[in-house]
Structure 1
Amino acid sequence: MLEFREVTLRRAGRVILDRVNLTVFPDEHLALTGPSGAGKSTLLKVALLFEPVDAGAVLWNGREVTVADLGAHRSRFLYIGQKPLPFEGTAEEYLNLPFTFAANHALHADQVEQDRLMEALGLDPALKKSPYTRLSGGEQQRLTIIQGLQLKRDFCLLDEITSSLDQDSMRAVVGFFARDKARTVLAVTHNREWLDFGFTEVGLESGKLWRRE
């Protein structure tokens, strides 16, 4: 269980987060909405302790997360950003990239699972043989999502991951996460179709956060 408790963050004299309180319970699916620049992406960074706060705390299962907990805390989360990473190589090599990192040495690429995820997100598995740079932005973004899903992390922090997708691709991605009841999801989005898929809305505006019950 992730909790933001009375979190306040100021930058350049501006209050970005103003005594924000939010608890994300296991298996919840939340869509974080609000105007551009409201601090939605910043809240995800605060969750991972990439952004220091001026007041308040981030808690995990009721215990405040400290610098000493950083490695274990961050390993709980799958963070996927808005823009795919630059990469030279094939799409398959891009999908396998996480398994070259020391932190994931105990994990291994599963080609069958990769193909299943590609089909679920509207991609032809034959694309794995294509040069990554020749793929469209939407194809690269969906490969980035699959790249992360392979790590089997149960709490997803998603930052505008459908912004570069066409309508059909967007619905495939949102539908995938909506159906995945084993994962907890906190997704930053400007697209209200996430709510049509059953996500609960959490809004952030002028530093204040509210939750639609």
Structure 2
Amino acid sequence: MTVSLSEPVLQARGLSRSVGERRLWHNLDCDLYPGERLGVVGPSGTGKSLLLRALAGLDRLDAGSIRFQHRELAVWHVPEYRSRVVYLPQRPAIYETTPEDAFELPFTFKINREKRYSRPNALKWLHALGREADFLHRPGITLSGGEAQIVGLIRALLLEPDILLLDEPTASLDGDTAAAVETAVRLWQEDAAHRACLWTSHDLHQIHRLTHRVLDLREAV
């Protein structure tokens, strides 16, 4: 996929975050361009998840500003922003009775009233990730950590956001399923040239294979 370097779709300037007396990062800048996959790396404890949560509008910043499509985060209607910039945690919480319930739920929200849940699309992504149709009806409480990651990813893909913020999305998956997740994200991007994602991982081989650029949080301490 071609990356547009003209204008970033998501832009962060001067971000700072501390936990207690410990500064994680300071004066951090981050640009994400249409069509791009940006890797975010750093040892455990450097605040990779906190950065993605901040970019999603889910976690506070000590300083700095975030702009999406040339508008400050503060002026966006929060539900609209979070429907277009979707954060996928490493351990998605699946409270619904079945995976299909989890897929359907976001389409009941007012902000998604112009969208419709599509079972064929859900099945398409399930098959791409190595699961059969009966997975739709699995009891949610029986899902493993890796299966919860699959449900969380498909739920996000079905909403067709502009940006995915992916926090260790393959951490609990076997090699074949991890490769299928990488392919699914590429296919999601290929469906619309403006789509972009941030991807965190402790697997540097994966990051360098999958992403166009790398942001190392150790450089912003």
Structure 1 segments of 4 or more deviating over 6 A? none
Structure 1 residue 195, shift from structure 2 partner = 2.2
Give yes or no for contact 1:16–1:39 (8 Å, CA) kept in 2: yes
State, as a whole percentage, how many aligned pairs show the same letter: 31
CA distance in 2, matches of 1:153, 1:100: 16
Count of residue correspondences = 207
Q: Does 1:36 align with 2:41?
A: no
Structure 1 residue 17, shift from structure 2 partner = 1.6
**2:209 partner amino acid:** D
Give yes or no for contact 1:38–1:206 (8 Å, CA) kept in 2: no
Structure 1 residue 131, shift from structure 2 partner = 1.7
Residue pairs, 1:14-33, within 5 angstroms: 14-33=22-41
Q: Does 1:132 align with 2:144?
A: no
Structure 2 equivalent of residue 191 of structure 1: 203
- Range with greater deviation from structure 2 (46-55 or 10-19): 46-55
Q: Does 1:92 align with 2:105?
A: no
CA distance in 2, matches of 1:109, 1:127: 17
**2:17 partner amino acid:** L
| Aligned equivalent of 2:216, options 181, 203, 206 | 203
Q: Does 1:141 align with 2:149?
A: yes
Give yes or no for contact 1:16–1:206 (8 Å, CA) kept in 2: no
* 1:95-133 alpha-carbon deviations (Å, 9 max, x no partner): 222223333233221111111111112211221122222
CA distance in 1, matches of 2:13, 2:96: 42
**1:93 partner amino acid:** D
| Aligned equivalent of 1:82, options 85, 90, 113 | 90
Q: CA RMSD in A?
A: 2.0
Give yes or no for contact 2:37–2:210 (8 Å, CA) kept in 1: no
CA distance in 1, matches of 2:167, 2:55: 13
Q: What's the TM-score once normalised by structure 2's chain length?
A: 0.84
* 1:64-118 alpha-carbon deviations (Å, 9 max, x no partner): 332x424243332121111121425222222222223333233221111111111
Q: Secondary structure at the match of 2:217?
A: strand
Structure 1 residue 22, shift from structure 2 partner = 1.4
Structure 1 residue 164, shift from structure 2 partner = 0.8
Structure 2 equivalent of residue 7 of structure 1: 15
Give yes or no for contact 2:94–2:102 (8 Å, CA) kept in 1: no
Q: Does 1:48 align with 2:61?
A: no
Q: Secondary structure at the match of 1:95?
A: helix
CA distance in 2, matches of 1:157, 1:19: 20
Structure 1 equivalent of residue 76 of structure 2: 69
**2:178 partner amino acid:** M
Give yes or no for contact 2:18–2:24 (8 Å, CA) kept in 1: yes
Structure 1 residue 49, shift from structure 2 partner = 3.0
CA distance in 1, matches of 2:203, 2:51: 18
Structure 1: 5+ residue stretches without partners? 209-213
CA distance in 1, matches of 2:155, 2:70: 30
Q: Does 1:178 align with 2:186?
A: yes
